[in-house]
Amino acid sequence: MADIICDKLTVEKSGIKILDSITCAIPHGEVVAIAGPNGAGKSTFVRALIGLEDISSGSADLNVPTEKTRYRRVDYVPQYTRQFNHLIPATVSDLFTFSRQAYPEIISELNINELFDKKMKNLSGGQVQRVFLAHAMLSSPQILVLDEPTAALDPLIRHKFSKIISDFHKKTAATILYVTHDIGSIGEIADKLIYLEEKIIFFGTFGDFCHSGEMSKYFGADQHIMCHQHKDNLYK
Amino acid sequence: MIELFSYQFIQHAFIAGLLVAVLCAITGIGVVSRNMSLLGDSLSHLSFGAAAVAVFSHLPFLVLTVPAALFGAIFITKFSKKNNNSSDALVAAISTAGISVGVLVASFTRNVTIDIQSFLFGSILTVEATDLIALSVLFIFVSVGFFVYKKEIFSVLFDAEQAKISGINVNVYQIVISLVTGLVVALSMKIVGALLMSALLVLPAFSAMRLANGFSRSVILSSTFSLFSVTVGMFISFSTNSPTGPVIALCASFIFIVALISSRE
C-alpha cells in the first residue's frame, strides 16, 4: 500500500503553473530523493503533499492512520529555518517536552542536549535546523519530509547526515521524502529519485538516473559524473 | 484595613479581582503572542457600546456585551487571517465605533451617567453574586481547557505550520482563543473598565514573555504579575479611597516598565 499518492496534482500561483499534473505513488518505507534545478517546484511539491500548499486541481493523499493521540504521524523540516513565533519565549526543551519521544537517540546524535535551556529565538540558523530535524525524527513519524535539510548545517553534522538518516530509516521503516541538490547523498541513502521540472521528468532508481540522459541535463553536458552507490538495492 | 474584608461587597470585589487577574493573564499570552495586543482594547470598546445600549434598553448588560465581544473576536480574527495580520485599521475602526455608540447612546439616556462611567473605568465594588458565578465558570473552563490542551495551544501559537502538519485544526484553535478572549473581556469590563482592559490583558503577559524562559513559565509569571497588580492595586485603592481600575492599571504598567528595562533582549 502506497503511503503517498498523487493524482494529476497541479499547483498554480498567481496564474503561473508550478506543478503540472503530477501522478505518482510512493510505497511505505521507501526513501525518495527529489532533485531538480532551481524553481523546478520541488519545495512546492513536498509542501502540497502534506497540505501546506493549495492544490489547483488533482489530488495528493497521505495514507497515514490517525493515532489514538488524534494526530497524524507526519513531520516536515523546511528548506529555510521555519518562521516560528519569536514572541513566544519557548526554549528548546519546550519543543521536546510537547513531542512524542519515540526515537530518543537522535537528541545526542545531533548534539541537542547542549541547547535544551536556550530560547529558540536566540539560536543560530544551523542550530534551529538541527533542533527541527531532531524534533521531526524524535516522534518517529510514519512519513518524514525534509526540504534541503542540510543547507544550514556545519560540515561535521552534514557529514553525519547520511548515516543519521540511514539509521533512522532502519529503526523506524519510515517513508522519507527529501529535497536535495547533494547528488552524493542520494546515492548513499535513497531508494529512488524523482527528478522534477514542473512535471516528473524521471522517477526510478539512482542507477537508472545515472544512465539516463537527465543526469547531464542536471549537471551540464560537459560534466562527467562517476556513479556508484552504497545502498545494496540500488542497481537491482 | 483588614476589617474591610468583613464586608461582603469587598469580599466579592477581591474574589472577582483575582479571577479576572488569572483569566486575563492566561488569555493575554494568546493575544500578545499573536501580535493582537489591541484586540482587547477593540473588544472592550465594542462591549462598552453594547453595555450602553443595554442600559438604555433596561436589559442585563451581559445579554448584549457577551454577543458583541464574541462577534468582534470572530470578525477581527477572520479578517486578520485573510489580510495577513494587517488588521490594525479594522481594530481602530471597531474601537472608535464602540466608544462612539456608547457615548451617543449615553447622551440620550437620562440618569444613567454613573452606570456608563462604571463601564468605562470599572467599578469593582459593584460586583454581584451573578458576576462572580459567571467569572468562576469561565475561570474553570479556561484553566481546565488550558491544562488539557496546553500542547496544542503551544503548537498553534509557536508554529502554526507544524501544528497543521500534525493534524491540529489551527483555525478552530485560533477562533476558540479569540472567543475566550471576547468572553474574558465582556465579563471583566465591569472590574477594570473598557478603557483600562488592555492593562490586564496585555501588560502582565507581555512582561512575562520578556522575562520568562519557557512557555509554561511565561504563563505562570503572567498570572503572578497580574495577581500582584490586582492585589496591590486594590489595597492601595481601598486605603487611599481612589478608583480601583486606574490603580490596578498603574501597577501593571509599573511591572511592564521594570520588565522592559531589566530584559536584555
Q: What is the CATH number of the domain that holds B58?
A: 1.10.3470.10
Q: How many CA atoms lie within 13 A of B124 on its CB side?
A: 31
For residue A171, pLDDT over 60 is answered with: yes
Cβ–Cβ gap B214/A75 under 8 Å:
no
Average pLDDT rounded to a whole number, residues A79-107:
81
Which residues constitute the domain of residue B148? Answer: 2-262
Q: pLDDT (tens digit, 9 = 90+) per residue, B228-258?
A: 999 999 899 888 988 888 899 999 999 999 9
Distant-in-sequence, close-in-space partners of B57: CB < 8 Å, separation ≥ 6: B64
When pLDDT is cut at 50, 70 and 90, the band that residue A236 belongs to is very low
Q: Is there a domain that residue A116 lies in?
A: no
Average pLDDT rounded to a whole number, residues B97-112:
81
Q: Give chain A's domain count.
A: 1
Q: Is there a domain that residue A97 lies in?
A: no
Q: Is there a domain that residue A132 lies in?
A: no
For residue A232, pLDDT over 60 is answered with: no
**Dist. CA B103–CA B73, nearest whole Å:** 22
Q: What is the ipTM of this complex?
A: 0.80
Average pLDDT rounded to a whole number, residues B138-152:
94
Average pLDDT rounded to a whole number, residues A142-168:
83
* CB-nearest partner of A98 from B33, B155, B164: B155
Cβ–Cβ gap A82/B218 under 8 Å:
no
The better pLDDT of the pair B4, B59 is held by: B59
**pLDDT for the residue B179:** 93
Residue of B nearest to A47 (CA): B165
**Whole-number average pLDDT of chain B:** 87
Residues of chain A found within 8 Å of residue B212, distances taken between Cβ atoms: 89
pTM over 0.80, yes/no:
yes
* CB-nearest partner of A119 from B167, B168, B213: B213
Percent of chain A scoring above 90 in pLDDT:
17
The better pLDDT of the pair B210, A101 is held by: B210
Counting every residue written for chain A, the total comes to 236
For residue A217, pLDDT over 70 is answered with: no
Q: Is there a domain that residue A236 lies in?
A: no
CA gyration radius, chain B = 18
Cβ–Cβ gap B166/A88 under 8 Å:
no
**Dist. CA B27–CA B52, nearest whole Å:** 25
Residues of chain A found within 8 Å of residue B209, distances taken between Cβ atoms: 87-89
Cβ–Cβ gap A94/B167 under 8 Å:
no
For residue A233, pLDDT over 50 is answered with: no
CB distance A22 to A199 below 8 Å = yes
Q: Give chain B's domain count.
A: 1
Residue of A nearest to B36 (CA): A87
Q: Is there a domain that residue A151 lies in?
A: yes
**pLDDT for the residue B143:** 94
Q: Is there a domain that residue A120 lies in?
A: no
Is B36 touching A (CB cutoff 8 A)? Answer: no
Q: pLDDT (tens digit, 9 = 90+) per residue, B27-47?
A: 999 999 988 888 888 898 998
Q: What is the CATH number of the domain that holds A157?
A: 3.40.50.300
Q: Is there a domain that residue A131 lies in?
A: no
When pLDDT is cut at 50, 70 and 90, the band that residue B56 belongs to is confident
Q: H helices within chain A, ranges in order?
A: 42-49, 92-97, 105-109, 125-138, 155-172, 183-189, 206-210, 214-219
Distant-in-sequence, close-in-space partners of B4: CB < 8 Å, separation ≥ 6: B10, B238
Q: pLDDT (tens digit, 9 = 90+) per residue, B147-159?
A: 999 999 999 999 8
Is B146 touching A (CB cutoff 8 A)? Answer: no
Which residues constitute the domain of residue A196? Answer: 2-86+141-219
Is B154 touching A (CB cutoff 8 A)? Answer: yes
Cell of B154: 503551544
